[in-house]
Structure 1
Amino acid sequence: MKPTATTALPRLALQQRIGMLLFASGWLALMFHMSQWLTPSA
């Protein structure tokens, strides 16, 4: 029984979930920035 195999799976899933959250937040921030830039508010 390998302890590394049992601990690597949740860690990989956690990294993927954190990566998805960071990507989603970055995408939303980029979309908001682009919308603010495309619609100039004088």
Structure 2
Amino acid sequence: MKIKVFILRMESELLNEKNKRFLLLINQTKMTIRKNIGTYFYKN
């Protein structure tokens, strides 16, 4: 039983890591888009 719990915990940790990376990626993309839009409007 303990092993099962341990594995489940490890899996959830991995999922959390993936989600964190994914959110970071989304945030970076949002920032880049905002920068691009900002420079686009600034130029025109």
The bucket for the TM-score relative to the shorter chain is 0.7 to 0.9
Give aligned pairs, total.
41
Gaps of 5+ in 2: none
What are the ranges of 5 or more consecutive residues in structure 1 without an aligned counterpart? none
**Runs of 4+ with >2 A deviation:** none
Which is richer in helix? 2
Q: TM-score scaled to structure 1, two decimals? A: 0.84
RMSD over aligned CA atoms reads: 1.3
Percent of paired sites with the same residue: 7
